[in-house]
Structure 1
Amino acid sequence: MIVIRYVWTSIATESRVPITMHFITSVLVNLTDRTINRKSVLVNAEFKRITTINLQSKFFSQLDIHSENLIQVYAKKGGVQGRKIKSIMVPLTQTDSVDVRRECVLKGLCVYLNEDPEKLVREYKNIESSQTAMAETVFGILVIRKEGAEPSDDPEDVGIILEGVEVLDELGNVPFAVSILLAVVYALNLSYPPELKYTFEALQKIIMELDGNKLSIKGQALKTKLSRKFETAH
């Protein structure tokens, strides 16, 4: 906790420590407490200390509130994007898993905002096949799914990759990993990755309602559509 808090404090006080992706990676990798999900617990604690918000409670409740409206908005998308979103949503017809539904909605959000969900979530059949790709990944989520896995089957591993290093692993599922990755980006005041900037803007400002007064044109258009859907439903 002390190491992570030092990073957050150094940002707040504009100290001499250069806050770079490499620095953040080294901090997370070198935490001494490596018990399962312990690092994610520390990230959660620091996020709450900065924002006063319970990360998972807020993220999942808001994502679930918006899910039905997001799916309806996605359904109106035509062309290549529309077909890709339909493909992403297929698992919803195969399982009632809440985690699967959330994952589909998150991937669909990327496509809807004209971004590539594979830049956010990279899936592999085994650790060996992921090694080369992992080394070339600057930012993203790694998922290991066994050959022939059903949508309802839990992944063998879900982790977060920064600068080619798996800094967090055993996160259980993709939605949880996305929430942790969002917390790292927001709390450390990192820039959104350019190829996912609209997705992370939507997650931060629409789903988490953090700094939501200033939105890009894309973000504002999505927020307006969701607001109209919500008002119609109520």
Structure 2
Amino acid sequence: MLLRVILGQEDIRRITIDSMPETVIGLHLMLKNMLGLEGDLVVQFQDPEFSNELCNLSCMSELPKDKVTLKVYSKNLESHQTDSTLDTASLTTSSEESHPPSASRLRQLPQPFQIPTFSFDVELKLRHGNEAFHKDGTLLDVSKDTKSDILDKIAEAIYVHNPYPTREEYDLVSQALVEKHPCLREPGSVNGWYCWKFSLKFKMGNFRQKLRLAGCPELKINSRSPGTPGKGKLKRARKSEVNFLPDLPEGKTQGSLEDERTEMVTEMKKRKIDWQQIKEMMNSTFSLRRKQIVEDEPPVADVRARWPALFSERQIEAEFARLTSVDLKGSLFAGLDKYLLRFLEVYRARSGLVELNSLLSTLDNDSSNQRQRAVVLMGLPYYLKDVAKLYKKVQVTDAEEDWTKGMAVGILMAEQNDRVGFAVVLEEEIIFPSISDFPTAVALLMGLLFALNIDYPRGLKYTFEVIQKVLMDIGGGQCTALVHGLKNRLLRKKK
């Protein structure tokens, strides 16, 4: 079926789909996945019975059979900006020429979670059930069909935010369900929603399987052939990426995208590189690149050989925006400046940590904003008691082969007299040399970890979690206890 989707006066898309969803909610889910929309949608269609004037869509049977024009609004977004979102229909825009993208589209469930509206008959049963519960405490006897309808709708609502919810998120949703509909409480569990939680986990598994069989890339990647031994690492968005594994662009094939990749490699070998052409081809080949990186998990050196343009500073920033809809440097620096003074106060309160005291003492000679940012970032591993080092100091007179020895992830600080240069290191290889300051080096390192789908090293997991979830505000709704405690200290006003 052919869809003409109007998102704005200058953003009208042509999309081809195999078949339309059976329900309006299913259509909303499909549009959110394909167009990168968030929040509650309003979908209107051109009604042929009223001279193609727009009408709100309330039933799928109202739509024409072969092709239809839809106008889509997102209630939660003031405008839909194509430079901050990627979709399967168009990958030709870039965030490089725009304002920093919104950070509101995160891979986490909203708090509180909004229970969706169910079918008319189920809503009627729940209304009568809630009235009876408030009158004399009577619980609703839920039939198999009613329970299935409830779980189906909630699973769809969860999937829009996160295909792989955490245990805490299942608790959150189950609790929200019985709070909105107390007649569904379970008399045999302490909190009243224990069985709903496990039924919902089972339903989400079935829902993912249906989408996996339908060809959803992000779920299909975790399918296993019969007889596959062991249970490998689940390949899913682990850092709140909103475009973790997108579909191929409309009208493109894997072969045509591979041809573009080859053309890019040739372009990058030229003395005068056409960066505008590189930008366009990097946008276009984003889905192929993610497929290769996520599925094959190649070494950094192999990715660098196949995608040399990705290892330029401007493209790391662009790739980070494609993945997260967040500005790389802007979000980190804004977060640092927001918490800068509180971080320094918290550090000074840990007077027993020699490393922190040493870093803080450097502010006596240089108290500039840039130096304060660097001290905050350098001090994180010591404050959080991470066992690994975020940075390594070397002298330019040292043997170069020893500079990166043993460094899987980190920042190199090369000192010469009173000058210091910075470089980003991955897998004992310098990726970005000659960086002017430490905060910029940290930003580029974060961009590489996202772009190359590299897990945070175990010895620095709390440090990178603070950088991502507290400073950059990406996925900050779910933190470990240690990071949550630090965040509370930063937000607490000084007495």
- After TM superposition, the score normalised by the length of structure 2 is 0.40
1:41-60 equivalences under 5 Å are: 41-60=314-333
Equivalent residue, structure 1, for 2:427: 163
3-state SS of 1:95 partner: coil
Matches within 5 A, 1:93-172: 93-115=364-386, 119-126=389-396, 128-147=398-417, 149=418, 153=419, 155=420, 157-172=421-436
Structure 1 runs of 4+ aligned residues shifted over 4 Å read 1-8, 10-17, 29-34
Task: For 1:227, give the aligned amino acid.
Answer: L
Residue correspondence of structure 1 range 170-209 to structure 2 within 5 A: 170-209=434-473
Q: State whether structure 2 residue 287 is matched by structure 1 residue 9.
A: yes
1:111–1:7: structure 2 CA closer, same or farther, 3 Å change rule? farther
Which SS does the other structure have where 2:434 is aligned? coil
Cα pair 2:309 2:315 within 8 Å, conserved: no
Match of 1:71 among 344, 347, 354: 344
1:134 alignment partner, SS class: coil
Aligned residue type for 1:124? V
Aligned 8 A contact 1:4 1:27 in 2: no
Task: Name the aligned partner's letter for residue 26 of structure 1.
Answer: D
SS of the residue aligned with 1:135? coil
Letter in 2 for 1:226: L
Greater Cα offset, 7-16 or 126-135:
7-16
Task: Find the aligned partners of 1:39 and 1:145 in 2 and give their Cα distance.
Answer: 24
1:175 Cα offset (Å): 0.8
Instruction: Report the residue type matching 2:412 in the other structure.
Output: L
Q: Is the 8 A contact 1:127 1:144 kept in 2?
A: no
Instruction: Report which of the two has the higher share of helix.
Output: 1
Aligned AA for 1:72? E
Residue in structure 2 matched with residue 28 of structure 1 by the alignment: 304
CA–CA distance in 2 between the matches of 1:122 and 1:89?
Answer: 18
**Stretch of structure 1 that moved more, 51-60 or 129-138:** 129-138
In the other structure, the counterpart of 2:141 is: none
The residue identity in structure 1 corresponding to 2:479 is L
Letter in 2 for 1:18: D
Q: Which residue of 2 aligns with 1:89?
A: 360
1:40 aligns with 2:316: no
* Alignment CA distance shift 1:145-1:219 (3 Å): same
* Change over 3 Å in CA distance of 1:30–1:7 after alignment to 2: same
Deviates more, 1:55-64 or 1:182-191: 182-191
Question: Residues of 1 paired with 2:283 and 2:398: CA distance?
Answer: 34
The 2-side partners of 1:6 and 1:27 are apart by 17
Greater Cα shift, 173-182 or 185-194: 185-194
8 Å CA contact 2:396, 2:414 repeated in 1 = yes
Deviation, 1:129, is: 3.3
The answer on whether the counterparts of 2:293 and 2:453 sit within 8 Å (CA) in structure 1 is no
Distance 2:434 2:422 in 1: 6
Rate the CA distance shift 1:201–1:15 in 2: closer, same or farther, 3 A: closer
Instruction: Find the counterpart in structure 2 of residue 19 from structure 1.
Output: 297
User: What is the aligned length?
Assistant: 217
Distance 1:75 1:58, change over 3 A: same
> Structure 1 counterpart of 2:414, which letter?
I
Alpha-carbon deviations, 1:19-57, whole Å to 9, x = none?
24x2x34333675569xxx71111001111222222111
Bigger relative contact order, structure 1 or 2 (CA pairs below 8 A, ≥6 apart): 1
Deviation at 1:130, TM superposition (A): 4.3
Q: CA RMSD in A?
A: 2.9
Aligned residue for 1:123, secondary structure, equals: strand
Change over 3 Å in CA distance of 1:13–1:195 after alignment to 2:
same
Structure 2: stretches of 5+ with no match in the other structure: 1-277
| 1:103 Cα offset (Å) | 1.1
The aligned counterpart of 1:227 is 491
Identical columns (%): 25
Q: How many angstroms apart in 2 are the aligned matches of 1:174 and 1:73? A: 21
Aligned partner of 1:211 among 475, 486, 491: 475
Distance change in 2, residues 1:183/1:87 (3 Å): same
1:16, 1:124 → 2: CA distance? 34
Structure 1 stretch displaced more, 124-133 or 103-112: 124-133
Equivalent-residue separation in structure 2 for 1:228 and 1:68 (angstroms):
12
Q: Write the distance in 2 (CA, Å) between the matches of 1:99 and 1:228.
A: 24
Deviation at 1:15, TM superposition (A): 7.8
